[in-house]
Amino acid sequence: MFHDDDRSNRLRPAILTDLVGQYMNDSERAALLGLPPTTRIRERAKIVNPERLEIGEHCWIGEGAVLDASGGLSIGAHTSIGLNVLVFTHSSWLANMTLQNHSGSDLIERKPIRIGKGCFIGGNSVIMPGVVIGDFATVSPLSVVAKDVPDRCIVGGNPARVIQRIDDEHIQAEVRRVRAGAHPTQSQESPWPTASTPPLSSATASSSATGTSSGPTA
């Protein structure tokens, strides 16, 4: 029933780790994976090649997220990775196009990803190989990030583009609002920009993110 070959024997410990992790809470699961004590990783989240993941303190990884660290993945402190986020550091596209999509193919391309500190990656987003996401950046849910993201901005869409830039004045205003116990209503401005939401007075809109694009992913 079980294969007794090098590849199977190499993969089996990770499979067993994932299985055991399903019966743990989020901090216990982080400890099992060798992540910092302040990290929380929810059920069904998966890390590919965790030995190539560098992650800071006080990070949160949501249910169903897949973090592919095979090409190198760095995540800064106080960053949250939302539910079902897919982070790819490799692409098998060329291997597929040349009918060489076998295990260990030299046409599987790997590029590292760096996600800065204080970032929020919204649920169901996809981060493509080779992308650098700056500090204090927000990726809106359902976005596909194929280019580098500057510091202190909100991006969204497919492909993701800069919706607006945020400064410390805006962040501190939001801190005061939340700590005062305010609850958004339909008449209040949403902190999430949309197509119908005007830019914040403290923010500067930009039409697109800067950086290099990535190719198709697995």
Residues 116-156: tens digit of each pLDDT = 999 999 999 999 999 999 999 999 999 999 999 999 999 99
- Look at residue 198 in the predicted model and tell me its pLDDT: 40
- Look at residue 94 in the predicted model and tell me its pLDDT: 96
Whether the CB-CB separation of 133 and 151 falls below 8 Å is answered with: no
Q: Using one digit for the tens of pLDDT, what is the confidence trace for 32-58?
A: 988 999 999 999 999 999 999 999 999
Whether the CB-CB separation of 36 and 57 falls below 8 Å is answered with: yes
Q: What is the mean pLDDT of residues 65-87?
A: 97
Q: Using one digit for the tens of pLDDT, what is the confidence trace for 167-213?
A: 999 999 999 999 998 655 555 555 555 443 444 433 444 444 444 44
- Look at residue 201 in the predicted model and tell me its pLDDT: 36
* Residue 62: closest CA among 85, 93, 91, 79: 85
- Look at residue 197 in the predicted model and tell me its pLDDT: 41
Rounded to whole angstroms, the Cα distance separating 84 from 63 reads 6
What's the token pair of residue 192?
């999430």
- Look at residue 190 in the predicted model and tell me its pLDDT: 55
Rounded to whole angstroms, the Cα distance separating 177 from 144 reads 30
Q: What is the DSSP letter of 61?
A: E
CB 115: neighbour CB atoms within 10 A?
27
Q: What sign has the CA pseudo-torsion 50, 56, 61, 67?
A: negative
Q: What is the DSSP letter of 141?
A: T
Task: List C-alpha distances in Å: 15 to 12, 64, 100.
Answer: 5, 15, 25
- Look at residue 182 in the predicted model and tell me its pLDDT: 63
CA 167 to chain centre: 22
Q: What is the mean pLDDT of residues 69-75?
A: 97
